[in-house]
Amino acid sequence: MRTRIFAIEALGRPLGQVLGPLFAGVVVVAAGDDAGDWRVVFLALLIPAGLTILWSLSLKEPSRGQQERIALLGDSAVVAQSEPPVLLSAAFQRLKKVRTFYFLVVGIGVLGFALIAVPGAFNLLLEDSYGYNAGKRGWIGAITWSGALIAIPIAGRIGERLFRKNPSSALRMMGVCILLYGVFVTVGLRFHSPAVMIALTTVGFAFQGAAFTQVGPSISAIIPYQMRSQAFAMVGVYIFLMGGFFGGLFAGALSDAHGERTALTAIVPPAALLGGLLIIYGSRYMNRDIALTRSELREQQVELERIAGDPDNVPMLQVRNIDVSYGNLQVLFDVGFDVRRGEVLALLGTNGAGKSTILRAISGLVMPDRGVVRMNGRTITLVEPQYRAQMGMVHIAGGEAVFSSMTVAENLALWSRQIPDSAKRQEKLALVYETFSMLDERRDQRAGSLSGGQQQMLALAKAVMLEPQLLCIDELSLGLAPVVVQDILQIVEKLKDQGITMIIVEQSLNVALAIADRAVFMERGQVMFEGPAKELLERDDLLRAVFLSGEGA
């Protein structure tokens, strides 16, 4: 059904391309066919366009993903009450990691060189080489797009059957149609007979229309509903910015130098060939991406049902099935764990195990390839770091938590600007200086001149000032003297007594056992152990990995 609906939607462009040139040609001819008379066309088209915009503003926003949840999970599917906003920047980072989508939009972007250049240059070709006036060019434009009105419904039906059998085959059909579009348009341009050229171009445009019937169904299947609107928006960005802008410049320069026929012959074949092959190549990832989207939706539904059944026992943080890659190198594999309210969780592991990376994924500094991060039962996977901070999450980065060129007082004053109420801001600053007396004595000292332990104290003071619900600390004791570590542990114990939930990346097993309620041990990007911290002592295999790596014990 979804494929048919998108096929109906795809009829809009060729229908406009049929009616638009006819309307424009008739209006311009009636007005006198002068260059200035084209303004009348735009003014006339402004009326229906404006009315359509006003009508669209009256439409209500549907519940995102509602029909998909019902289709996949049944009528009893639980709907999330509220979700944090998903900004385009965060969605774009995640969308690039969906392999099918990446090759799809890049292929469409390359094809955009031809999609935008062909209509304008073809119109100029009819005028300059054949001397056709606006009326005739309007009729020819309508004829060349009429084939798409027939091809799109047929392609919609064929695509639906292919999608049900094997979704990737429907996307391959799109790539093949784009290749055929390039073949017919290019061959048609080499014929000087207007009848043959128009006939072959009509067939080419029909294949182009058929190809785009598969864009909507493919994106809907591989992209989670939370960022589906951003995905559709990115298609337009790639077509008009990547292909349209540069394609228009390239076509204009070649047309002025060598004529429209040569310009189109130089642009269409490589754009269609490369664009079609990229989409065909990307289809190999489609079944995998669909499976990941469905599993994510099912996991979300299970969690929503659990929250609805026991709302008083929702974990502070949930990490589910997180994969993270840096370029082509995957560093986290299906990482998942919970952090209960008020507990301290120690993240342990050897160097390169992925401890800091999962902490950065939790705080939004790294976008995971897949998986879900929730805080207080709300999905925050695609939420910007600053919004997570507003929700009560604070991340103390290892060795990067203070501004070294600023004084202690300036560090704290700058950090306090996140507290909107000025009276409360001063109250929190006073409390921090009272709690961290060492900082009070060094207000005017540059943070960069502090010892490692003093800088860690300053970082903790900045975090405590914001009253975090969840405090993420990277490398709590790394490189610090034992006496300094004891002072820091006393501060951590006070925070724990206040009910602050903490995740602490730690390499020293002794430190972890001293402060942590539970531990997660990671090795090579995977969780090897999750449970009470003291039970880790019974896992000789994991402890051996720590000791043999030369890291703390």
Instruction: Annotate 203-217 with three-state secondary structure.
Output: HHHHHHHHHHHHHHH
The DSSP element (H or E) to which 143 belongs, if any, is helix 134-165
Beta-strand relationship, 501-505 and 344-349: parallel
Residue with the larger pLDDT of the pair 4 and 192: 192
With cut-offs at 50, 70 and 90, classify the pLDDT of residue 4.
Answer: confident
**Distance between CA atoms of 244 and 238, rounded to whole angstroms?**
8
Which residues, in sequence order, are bridge partners of residue 530? 520
End-to-end CA distance of the chain: 60
Name the CATH superfamily for 314-548: P-loop containing nucleotide triphosphate hydrolases (3.40.50.300)
pLDDT given for residue 75 in this prediction: 53
pLDDT bin (cut points 50, 70, 90) of residue 33 is: low
pLDDT(30) > 90: no
Question: Per-residue confidence at 546, pLDDT binned at 50, 70, 90?
Answer: low
Average pLDDT, the chain: 86
List the beta bridge partners of residue 471: 394, 502
Nearest-10 crossing angle of helices 167-189, 134-165? 150
Segments making up each domain of the chain, as ranges: 2-292, 314-548
What pLDDT digit, counting tens, does each position of 260-291 carry? 999 999 999 999 999 999 999 999 999 999 99
Question: Alpha-carbon distance 34 to 36, whole Å?
Answer: 5
Best-predicted range by mean pLDDT among 78-82, 233-237, 245-249? 233-237
Q: How many CB atoms lie within 10 A of CB 253?
A: 11
The per-residue pLDDT for range 513-532, each reduced to its tens digit, is 888 899 999 989 999 999 88
Mean pLDDT of 238-266: 86
Confidence check: pLDDT of 81 > 70: no
pLDDT band for position 14 (cuts 50, 70, 90): confident
What confidence category does residue 70 fall into, taking pLDDT thresholds of 50, 70 and 90?
Answer: low
Residue 204 · residue 184 · CB < 8 Å: yes
pLDDT at 90: 82
| pLDDT at res. 163 | 92
238, 109 contact by CB (below 8 A): yes
**Highest mean pLDDT: which range of 3-12, 22-31, 428-437:** 428-437
Q: How far is CA 25 from CA 136, 145, 180, in A?
A: 7, 15, 29
Q: Can you name the residues that pair with 374 across neighbouring β-strands?
A: 318, 379
Say how far apart CA 269 and CA 184 lie, in whole Å. 10
Cα(69)–Cα(51) distance, rounded to whole angstroms? 34
Q: Kindly tell me if the per-residue pLDDT of 551 is higher than 90.
A: no
pLDDT attached to residue 550: 46
- The answer to whether residue 553 scores a pLDDT higher than 60 is no
- In this structure, what is the dihedral angle of CA atoms 353, 359, 364, 367, given to the nearest 10 degrees? 10
Give the tens place of pLDDT for each residue, 285-311.
Answer: 999 999 988 888 888 888 878 877 888
536-541: long-range contacts, CB 8 A cutoff, minimum separation 24: 536/348, 536/509, 536/512, 537/513
Residue 9's pLDDT is: 84
Report the alpha-carbon distance of residue 61 to residue 191 in Å, rounded. Answer: 50
Of residues 4 and 340, more confidence is placed in: 340
**Phi, psi values for residue 140, rounded to 5°:** -65, -40
Q: Are 103 and 278 in contact (CB under 8 A)?
A: yes
Long-range contacts for 228-231 (Cβ within 8 Å, ≥24 apart)?
228/64, 229/64, 230/86, 230/88, 230/91, 230/92, 230/95, 231/91, 231/95, 231/101
Query: Does the 2-292 domain belong in CATH 1.20.1250.20?
Result: yes
Helices (H), 240-354: 246-258, 260-282, 286-309
Q: Report pTM.
A: 0.80
Sign, CA torsion 250/251/253/259: positive
The strand pairing partners of 318, in sequence order, are: 338, 374
Considering the chain, what percentage of its residues have pLDDT values greater than 70?
A: 92
- The fraction of the chain above a pLDDT of 90, given in percent, is 39
